[in-house]
Structure 1
Amino acid sequence: MSDPATGTTTTAPRRTPLVGGLTAEGISFIGTRVSMIAIPWFVLSTTGSATQTGLVAAAEIAPLVLFKALGGPLLDRVGPRRVTLVCDLGSALVVGSIPLLHQLGALTFPLLLVIVAVAGALRGPGDAGKSAMTPEIARVAGVSLERVTGLGSAVERTSTMAGAALAGLLVAAFGAANALYVDAASFLLSFAVFALSTTGMGRPVPSAGTATGVRATSYLTELREGWDFLRTEPVLVAICLMVAVTNLVDQAYVAVLAPVWAKESGAGVEVLGAMFAAFSGASVLGALAAARWGETLPRYRTYVVAFLVAGAPRFVVMALESPLWAVLAVTVVAGAASGFLNPILGAVILERIPAPLMGRVSSLNTAICWSLMPLGGVLGGLAVTAVGVSPALLIAGAAYLVTTMAPTRVPSFRAMDRAPVSAGTSAPAPAPGRWPRSPRS
C-alpha cells in the first residue's frame, strides 16, 4: 500500500508471526516445565539418589548455557528461524528417547546424562533463536518491543504455571517416564506452529565485509565481535551482571530459602505452593499491564520502583516472622511489580543490538544472565547451614537490593529511556571495532 503523505510504499502489519511465535513459546514452556518436574522425579524414583538427581540437573543446564553463548554466530550466519526449527525437531527426538529407552531396558544412568546434556545443548540455541527474532516480529506486527516482550513474559509465566500443574497430573497418572512423551510432543507442536507462522522471516542479515553472500570472517572472529560489542555497552553490561546475580538469589530462594522457611515456620508445603502460585499469577497480570502500557512508562523510573517492590521486601517479610497474610500480601505485590521488569529490560537489550549482531550478542547476554543459577541452591544451602534461615533471608534480600540498585550508579544507565537510532535495524553493521554506541547521558 502507498503512503500518500510520503509517496513511499508501506507494508500492512501482519499479526500472524506475533500470535504464532507467542503460541509456540507457550507450548514450549509448558513442555519444558513438564520435563523440569518429570526428569528429577524419574531419577529419584529409579535410583533413589539425590546426588544423581543433582548431576542430571547440572548435566542439562551447563551445556544449555554454554551452547547458548557459543551459538550466537550460527544464528547470524544461517538465520534464527532455521536454527530454532532444527533445535525444536532435534529436542523432540532426544527427549522422546528417554522414556523409549527406559521401556526397552536400555537406559543406563551414564546414557541418561548424555541425553539430557544433548537436550540442553539443543535448547540453548533454540531458545536464543526465538529471542533473536523478537525485533523482526515486532516490526512485522507493527507493535512496540515493550508490547511484544510484555506479551512474551505473560505467556512464559502463564504456561509455566500450567505446565507445573500438568506435570503433577501426568506424573501421578502415567509415571514420570511417560510424562516425558508430552514434552517431546510439545517440541513437535512448537516446531509446526513456529514454522507455519514465521514463513519468510528470520533470514540471516548480511554483515560488513561480505561479498556475494560469503562471509569474510571466521566463526571465532564473529563470536569475538559479539563479545566486543557487548562489553563496550555499559547499559547491556550492567543489565547482564545484575540479572546474573538476581537469578542466583532467586534460585536460592526457590530451591532452599523458601522451602526451609515454610518447614521451620510451620507454614507447610501448602503455604509454600500458595506463595509461588500467588507470585506467578500476579506477575502475569503485571506483564500484561506492561504489554498494554509499558511503552508509555519511563523505563528508568519503572525499573527502580519495580525492583524496590519486587526484590528485598519478600525476603525481609519472611525473615521477620511476619503473619502469613502479610507474607502473602507482599508476595502478590512483588509478583505484580516483577511483571514489569522483563518487558522493559528485554526491550532495552534488543533495541541496542544491531541486526547483524542480534544472534551472537543476544545469546551471550542470555548465557551470562543464566551463568550463576547453578550456584543458587548450593549457596542458599550453605547460608542456611551457617547462619540459619532468617539471617540467610536478610542476606539474600540485601544482596538483591544492592545488586538491582547498583546499575543506577552507572551514568549511562539512565539512557535506557532513549532508544539508540541505529539499534535493532537491518542496516549493515560497521566494521569491527567501530560498532555504534548507545547515547551517553
Structure 2
Amino acid sequence: MTPSAMAPEEATVPLRPTSAPAVALTPSPPSLARANILRGGDALATVILTYALPLLVLTSTGSTMLTGLVFAAEWIPRLGALAGGGALVDRYGAARVFRTANAGRTLLTALAIPALSTLPPDNAAAIAAVVLLGAACGGLAELSFLSAETTGADLSRRAGPHAHRVQAWQMGIDQGAMLAGPLLGGLLLLGGGGTMLAVVAALSATAALLHPAPTPRPQPAATAATAGLRTGWRTLRTLPALGVLVAGLAASNFASGLLQASAPITVTHTFARHPATVGVIWSAAAAAMLAATALCRRLIDRFSLWPVGATAAALASAACLAAALAPTLPLYTTLVALLMAAEGVMGVVLRTMRAHLIPAHAFGSTLSVTVLLTMAPMPAAGLLVAAAPAHMLPALVACCALLQAAALAWCFAGLRRHTLSAPHTPLSKEPTHS
C-alpha cells in the first residue's frame, strides 16, 4: 500500500494566537479546475520519480543492493518532511510551500540531466546523483502533497454543500497518477534517464508557475511541530484500539513495500523481462485499486466494516504470498493487482475506523504520528531488499506475507473486541441487506 494511495488528508495543528501575529504568505485559492491541474501535475511527477529512479539504477548497474538503497533514500526524507511539513504550511502558507517545493524539484531534476546524459550509466557519480536526487525529491514531494491537501481543504470549505465533489476530484486525481505514473515512467526510461527527468522537470515547473502567487495577510504563528508530535504520541498511547490499528497498517505497508521494492529485481532476474514491464504491472495494480475503492462503499453498506475489512486483509495476505511464489509473469501481475485491490478496500476500512477513534481535539497531531508510524516500514523494506541477495527475495517476500497475515489477524481481532466493548463504533453498524 503505497503512501500515494493510503496517505490521508492531513489536518493542521491548531493555531495559537499571539498578541503580535506575524505576517505570513497565504494562498490566493485557485479555481477548482486550476487546483486539479496543479495537483495532477505534482502527483504525476512524484509517482514517476518514485517508480522510475529504482528502475533507472537497476538498468544502469544491475545491482539489487543499489536498487533497494534508492527506494529507501526516496522514503526516509518523506518521514522528516511529514513531521515538520504541516508547521511549514501553517507558517508560510500552502501556496508558497507548494511553489517552492515544485521549483526545487524542477531545479534538482534539471541539474541531474547532464550527469545522466554525459556520464556512463554505471558511473559512480551518476549513481550518487540518482540517490541524492531521490532523497531530495522525496522530501519535496511530501511538502507539496501537504500543501495541495491544505489547498483542497480550503476549496472544500468554500464549496459548502458541494465539498464532497472537490474531494472526489482530488482523490480521483491521486489514483489516476498512480495508474499512469508507473507506466509513463517505464516508457520514458526507454529514451534514457535524461528524458524521464526532463518530463518531471516540465511537470514540476508547470505546477510551480500555474499556482497563483501568495498574498500577504496577518496569520498567527504555528504551533511547533515537536509539540504536536508529543501530543499525538500521548493520545496514541491512551487508545489501545488505535495502536492495534496502526500496527496492522504498518505490517501491511511493510509487506507491500517489500513487494514494490523487489518488483524491478523480480521482473528482470526471475522473469527475464525488460524493466519497463514493472510500469505495466503497477499501472494494472493501480487500476485494480481504483476500481476496488470505488466499489467497496456498496460492500460496506451491505456487510458493515469489520467483515469487509477482515476479508480484504485475508485476500491481501494470500495474494502477497502467492505473488512471491508465482512461476509466470502474467500470474505475478494478476496477483499484484489483487493485492493492491484488497489493500485499497482494507485501507478504506482502517482509515474510517481511525477517523472514528482519534478524538477531535487532538486529531491533527495524532494523525501525523499515525502516518509517520505507518510510513516508516517503507524505507525499511528498501533497506532489506538492498541487503538481501536477488535469489533470496521470493522467500523473503513469502515470509513477510506470513507475518503480514498474522499481524492483520491480530489487528482485526483486536478491532472486533473493541466493537463488542463499544457498540457505538462504525464497526458495529448493522449490515443493510437491501
* Fold agreement, TM-score > 0.5: yes
Residue 180 (structure 1) shift? 0.9
Q: What is the Cα deviation at residue 286 of structure 1?
A: 1.4
Q: Which residue of 1 aligns with 2:206?
A: 189
Which is further off, 231-240 or 407-416? 407-416
* Distance of aligned partners of 1:121 and 1:24 in 2 relative to their CA distance in 1, 3 Å threshold: same
Alignment of 1:34-433 (within 5 A): 34-40=48-54, 43=57, 54-80=68-94, 82-99=96-113, 108=125, 113-131=131-149, 137-141=155-159, 152=170, 154-173=172-191, 175-191=192-208, 195=212, 213=220, 218-256=224-262, 260=266, 276-290=282-296, 298-309=304-315, 311-318=316-323, 333-349=338-354, 360-379=365-384, 389=394, 392-408=396-412, 409-410=414-415, 411-412=417-418, 418=425
Is the 1:71–1:125 Cα contact (8 Å) retained in structure 2?
yes
**1:279 offset after TM fit, Å?**
2.9
* Counterpart residue identity of residue 285, structure 1: A
> Conserved in 1, the CA contact under 8 Å of 2:245 and 2:411?
yes
Total equivalences in the alignment: 389
CA distance in structure 2 between the aligned counterparts of 1:19 and 1:301, rounded to whole angstroms: 38
Deviation for aligned residue 1:186: 1.8
TM-score by length of 1: 0.67
Paired residue type of 1:342:
G
1:16-67: per-residue Cα shift (whole Å, max 9, x none)?
8666555433322321232235434555677776655554444332222222
1:396-421 Cα distance to aligned partner (Å, 9 max, x none): 332222222322214446879847xx
Residue 405 to residue 261, structure 1, CA distance change in 2 (3 Å): farther
Q: Considering only aligned residues, what root-mean-square deviation do their CA atoms show, in Å? A: 4.8
TM-fit CA distance, 1:303: 1.9
For the residue of structure 2 that corresponds to 1:305, the secondary structure is helix
What code does the residue aligned with 2:50 have? Answer: M
Structure 2 gap ranges (5+): 1-28, 427-434
SS of 1:73's equivalent? helix
CA shift in 2, pair 1:336/1:17, >3 Å: farther
Query: Any conservation in 1 of the 2:71–2:382 contact (CA below 8 Å)?
Result: no
Counterpart contact for 2:183–2:282, Cα < 8 Å: no
> Does the CA contact (< 8 Å) of 2:246 and 2:370 recur in 1?
yes
Contact 1:73 1:223 in 2 (8 A): no
Q: Aligned in 2, Cα 1:329/1:47: closer, same or farther, shift over 3 Å? A: closer
Letter in 2 for 1:370: M
Distance verdict in 2 for CA 1:276–1:162, change over 3 Å? closer
Deviation at 1:166, TM superposition (A): 1.9
Residue 429 of structure 2 is matched in structure 1 by none
2:253 partner amino acid: N
Q: Is the 8 A contact 1:84 1:126 kept in 2?
A: yes
1:247 CA drift (Å): 1.5
Q: Is the 8 A contact 2:299 2:308 kept in 1?
A: no
Q: 1:96 to 1:348 in 2, by over 3 A?
A: farther
**Aligned equivalents of 2:77, 2:39: Cα separation in 1:** 21
Contact conserved, 2:319 with 2:336, CA < 8 A, in 1? Answer: yes
Amino acid at match of 1:402: A
Contact 2:107 2:201 in 1 (8 A): yes
Work out the CA distance in 2 between the residues paired with 1:357 and 1:74: 19
Comparing 351-360 with 186-195, greater Cα deviation is found at: 351-360
AA partner of residue 161 (structure 1): L
Q: TM-score, normalised by structure 2?
A: 0.68
Amino acid at match of 2:255: V
1:131-160 deviation line (CA, Å, top 9, x unaligned):
456655555445799987776554334322
Aligned-partner Cα distance in 2 for 1:313–1:113: 33
CA deviation vs aligned residue, 1:164-186 (integer Å, no higher than 9, x gap) = 2222332323x212321211222
Identity of aligned residues (%): 22
